[in-house]
A and B are shown apart, each in its own frame.
Chain A
Amino acid sequence: MNERLLRIVAPMAVLALGIVAWDLIVRVNDIPPYILPGPLLVLSTLISDWSILWSSLLATLATTVEGLLLAVLGGIGLAILFNQSRLVEHSLYPYAVILQVTPVVAIAPLLLIYLPQQAAVLACAWIVAFFPVLANTTLGLNSVDHNLVDLFRLYGASRWQVLWDLKLPAAQPQMLAGIKIAGGLSLIGAVVAEIAAGSAGAGSGLAYRIAESGYRLNIPRMFAALLLLSVTGIVIFALLSWLTQLALRRWHESAITRET
């Protein structure tokens, strides 16, 4: 209980100290808000600009969630395909890696030329997010207990039964770890694409608001939008962690709390 309390109280104390220090630095040095706004000003901007920030947040969130869903579908689907056919795996895996190692910031402007803006932003989110799902699920599908594979074979299990009743459940922990990483990456992909799109003169997501506010020297709004993005990332991570915990709590070591 003490330990649990500490885990909440300690970071909160650090946050409070940081905010107080930030406020003091701004006040004592009399820094103008277009260079560094104080925390209170950021908060009041968040409230006064809420309607515009809220609609931007929804746009970014929609892209992130869609990107993540497509990444989960594509990543798991491709991993299953790889697992079923060596030929497909050897043919496509190198290109999945290439897609992953090429910085998405460099791909985004190109995608914006060839795709409608919304599709391009979504494509960016997908490109960065699908690889961890693919790589982790592949690892999970390939590391099934070989004795269990033998057992299924002994009882004449079909290919489909081996996949559905053995490999997919066994791969759950790795799959969920991949999805957890993909959640954060999908947000990054969406933001990168929005910034690239924003400089092209269109867009309405949070990242676009940040870029736009920068041009207008509306620094408090930049901070407010950044704060929202950060909170969004935290919420996505927390949700996916909770989901992982929920799925694995009965059987996987990673999700079990031990009494000592």
Chain B
Amino acid sequence: MAASATGNAAVSIVSLRGVGKTFGTGTLALDGLDLDVRAGEFLSLLGPSGCGKSTALRIMAGLSEPSRGSVTWQAGDARRDIGFVFQEPTLMPWATVFANVFLPLKLAGRDKTAEAPHVMETLTRVGLAEFAQAYPRELSGGMRMRVSIARALVTAPRILLMDEPFAALDEITRFKLNDDLVALWRELRMTVVFVTHSVFESVYLSERIVVMTGRPGRVSSELLIDAPNRDARFRTSAEYAGYCRLASEALAKAMGTPAGAAA
């Protein structure tokens, strides 16, 4: 499974070269960041809070302009093919679940009646079909995040960018959404870039983890997770624990603290 994404032939869907970002306040968020996102892979950006991983994601999405360096997309139009999931569900509270998921299509000028089956299909995918007419405030935090994911998926993007989407959820909900996300990634064969500060989450989800250092943010090390099955058994396996230790050590090194302190 991992070989398909990490093999020699894998093409980069987007490449960041020497990307730097200095904010107006003078904060140096990123400096000399080199990163390749390979087509079809599940990549996690792991790093301490404030290491610029979210900034890197926003630059990829085109929501933020890099101060230095270049962002190159493989195909010219791939930039339009992005799904983005924010840390908060970021739903329109005045609109129903259906209207929230339909939004990206609406903004693209699509017809509501014609797209209704497709929107419902996407809602079914995240298990929320019967909540189409509910309003966001009537849903739990986990369900709202599912709506947010459905909205990102509705355009069938080639690349899904996720900015610590499950950080605010309880552990049970997070595990469930982790499983669902892995299943969706397998089923839809898309590329996922997942920003997190959780070692365990990144190991569970990813094929490849890029560990980042903070202030200024740049790549510290890289870790391949070569495990075909991501399920409850993997979560309790020695293999998983081993990868978590490796990732923790890499994170500790990136933060310049002794191993163990970071986990």
Q: Do A and B come from one complex?
A: yes
Q: Are A251 and B82 in contact (CB under 8 A)?
A: no
| CB neighbours of A145 from chain B (8 A) | 90
| CB neighbours of B88 from chain A (8 A) | 147
A256 located at the interface, meaning its Cβ lies under 8 Å from any Cβ of chain B in the complex: yes
| CB neighbours of A161 from chain B (8 A) | 107
Q: Are B84 and A170 in contact (CB under 8 A)?
A: no
Binding site for B on A (CB under 8 A): 145, 147-148, 150-157, 161, 165-166, 169-170, 172, 250-253, 256
Docked CA distance A15–B103 (Å)? 52
Q: Please pick, from B58, B86, B107, B137, the residue contacting A155 in the complex, using a CB distance under 8 A.
A: B107
Distance (Å) between the CB of B200 and the closest chain A CB?
26
| CB neighbours of B108 from chain A (8 A) | 155-156
Docked CA distance A97–B129 (Å)? 50
Known: A147-B90, A161-B107. 17 other contacts (CB 8 A): A145-B90, A151-B103, A152-B107, A154-B62, A154-B82, A155-B108, A165-B103, A165-B106, A165-B107, A169-B94, A251-B93, A251-B94, A251-B136, A251-B137, A252-B93, A252-B94, A256-B137
| CB neighbours of A256 from chain B (8 A) | 137
A152 nearest in chain B by CB position = B107
Docked CA distance A154–B94 (Å)? 20
B135 located at the interface, meaning its Cβ lies under 8 Å from any Cβ of chain A in the complex: yes
| CB neighbours of A252 from chain B (8 A) | 93-94
Distance (Å) between the CB of A190 and the closest chain B CB?
33
Docked CA distance A256–B138 (Å)? 11
Distance (Å) between the CB of B61 and the closest chain A CB?
6
| CB neighbours of B93 from chain A (8 A) | 251-252
B104 located at the interface, meaning its Cβ lies under 8 Å from any Cβ of chain A in the complex: yes
15 contacts between A and B (CB under 8 A): A147-B86, A148-B92, A150-B63, A153-B63, A154-B61, A154-B62, A156-B107, A165-B106, A169-B95, A170-B92, A172-B94, A250-B135, A251-B135, A251-B136, A253-B137
Q: Are B92 and A166 in contact (CB under 8 A)?
A: yes
B118 located at the interface, meaning its Cβ lies under 8 Å from any Cβ of chain A in the complex: no
A247 nearest in chain B by CB position = B94
Docked CA distance A170–B137 (Å)? 15
A253 nearest in chain B by CB position = B137
Q: Are B103 and A155 in contact (CB under 8 A)?
A: yes
Give 5 nearest A-B pairs by CB, closest first: A147-B90, A155-B107, A251-B93, A169-B94, A157-B107
Q: Are B90 and A151 in contact (CB under 8 A)?
A: yes
| CB neighbours of B112 from chain A (8 A) | none
Tell me which of A150, A155, A156 has the highest count of chain B C-beta atoms within 10 A of its own C-beta: A155
Distance (Å) between the CB of B172 and the closest chain A CB?
25
| CB neighbours of A150 from chain B (8 A) | 58, 63, 84, 86
B215 located at the interface, meaning its Cβ lies under 8 Å from any Cβ of chain A in the complex: no
Docked CA distance A151–B61 (Å)? 10
Interface string of B101-140 (1 = CB under 8 A from A): 0011011100000000000000000000000000111000
B80 located at the interface, meaning its Cβ lies under 8 Å from any Cβ of chain A in the complex: yes
Docked CA distance A125–B61 (Å)? 49
Docked CA distance A252–B138 (Å)? 11
Distance (Å) between the CB of A187 and the closest chain B CB?
30
| CB neighbours of B86 from chain A (8 A) | 147, 150-151
| CB neighbours of B95 from chain A (8 A) | 169
Docked CA distance A143–B258 (Å)? 44
Distance (Å) between the CB of B220 and the closest chain A CB?
28
Docked CA distance A192–B4 (Å)? 79
Docked CA distance A155–B106 (Å)? 10
B91 nearest in chain A by CB position = A148
Docked CA distance A172–B86 (Å)? 24
A173 nearest in chain B by CB position = B94
Docked CA distance A152–B91 (Å)? 11
Distance (Å) between the CB of A171 and the closest chain B CB?
10
A256 nearest in chain B by CB position = B137
Docked CA distance A256–B136 (Å)? 13
A162 nearest in chain B by CB position = B107
B83 nearest in chain A by CB position = A154
Known: A169-B94, A251-B93. A154 touches B63 (CB 8 A): yes
Docked CA distance A204–B62 (Å)? 63
Q: Please pick, from A154, A155, A169, the residue contacting B92 in the complex, using a CB distance under 8 A.
A: A169
Docked CA distance A157–B105 (Å)? 11
Distance (Å) between the CB of A211 and the closest chain B CB?
46
Distance (Å) between the CB of A222 and the closest chain B CB?
46
Docked CA distance A152–B92 (Å)? 11
| CB neighbours of A172 from chain B (8 A) | 94
B80 nearest in chain A by CB position = A156
B151 nearest in chain A by CB position = A151
| CB neighbours of B94 from chain A (8 A) | 169-170, 172, 250-252
Docked CA distance A251–B93 (Å)? 6
